[in-house]
Amino acid sequence: METDGLPSAIVMIICTFFKVLMTPFYSMTLGKRTFHFRGKDYRYFCHWYNTTFDNERSIEIAIAADLMRSSSGRTLEVGNVLSHYISGHWDILDKYEKGKSVLNQDIIDFESQTKYDLIISVSTLEHVGFDEKQRDPEKFTAAIRKLQSVLAPGGRFFFTIPIGYNPDAVIRLERDNLVAKKHYFERTAKHQWEETTADRALSRQFSTPYSFANALIICLDGEWA
């Protein structure tokens, strides 16, 4: 079994290496193209780290980074993602990943006297209670409620959930009205995303036909214009 998996692992490493080398090309091509979200055009985000041009990061980081740059208030990020792409100072909560200014703690145990003006989480909350030895679907809902409790009056809460990775998380989002607004995006080509209806997005599968997410829910809570 391990022997069978070795060639596949080698091929994956080689493919990733060449994708990284192609980053400048994608920056000059895909990076000049745009997608539309909430009345604004964003350029697809192209970066060698995690080859963002080849997955949902291309739109997630574009929006999240813009939110970070436009916010002057207290900011919390759940999941250490943005520090790999943009510079700045904000609080980061990540259970596993080590790093400067990263608080390693389970979100369920997180307590803060600080109320945040902006809370961001990029494709992270779907892992809560799911990627653990003993799965606990209730933790996904608890994580969202926890973050809502530390959001300042007038603050904004932004997070993304890839459809198909953790089906129960998506069911809870749809069934329990956990957030004020949801926007749905689907991958209409390998390097193209478009906003779509809930029905179309929810019908898409994870890693089919394209690698990683083929549809995404962008969740907004708090005060948005």
Residue 27 to residue 101: CA distance in whole angstroms: 30
Please answer whether residues 173 and 182 qualify as being in contact, where contact means their C-beta atoms are separated by less than 8 angstroms: yes
CA dist 211 → 27, 56, 78, 205, 214 (Å): 20, 10, 24, 10, 8
Domains along the chain with CATH numbers: 2-222 (3.40.50)
C-alpha 36/C-alpha 12 separation (Å) is 32
Q: CB atoms < 10 A from the CB of 49, how many?
A: 12
**What is the per-residue pLDDT for 28?**
78
* Alpha-carbon dihedral 157, 162, 167, 171, rounded to 10 degrees: 40
Prediction pTM value: 0.91
Cβ atoms of 14 and 22 within 8 Å: the answer is no
Q: What is the pLDDT along the chain (225 residues), one digit of tens a residue?
A: 444 577 777 766 767 766 767 777 767 787 789 999 999 999 999 999 888 989 999 999 999 999 999 999 999 999 999 999 999 999 999 999 998 889 999 999 999 999 999 999 999 999 999 999 899 999 999 999 999 999 999 999 999 999 999 999 999 999 999 999 999 999 999 999 999 999 999 999 999 999 999 999 999 999 998
Beta carbons within 10 angstroms of residue 111's beta carbon: 8
Phi, psi of 155, deg, nearest 5? -80, 170
- Residue 158 phi/psi, 5-degree rounding, is -125, 125
| Lookup: tokens for 149 | 């409790």
How wide is the angle at C-alpha 149 spanned by C-alphas 145 and 155, nearest 5°?
Answer: 110
Helix, strand, coil content of the chain in percent (nearest 5):
40, 25, 35
CA pair distance 143, 159, nearest whole angstrom: 12
Question: Is the sign of the CA dihedral 3, 7, 8, 13 positive or negative?
Answer: positive
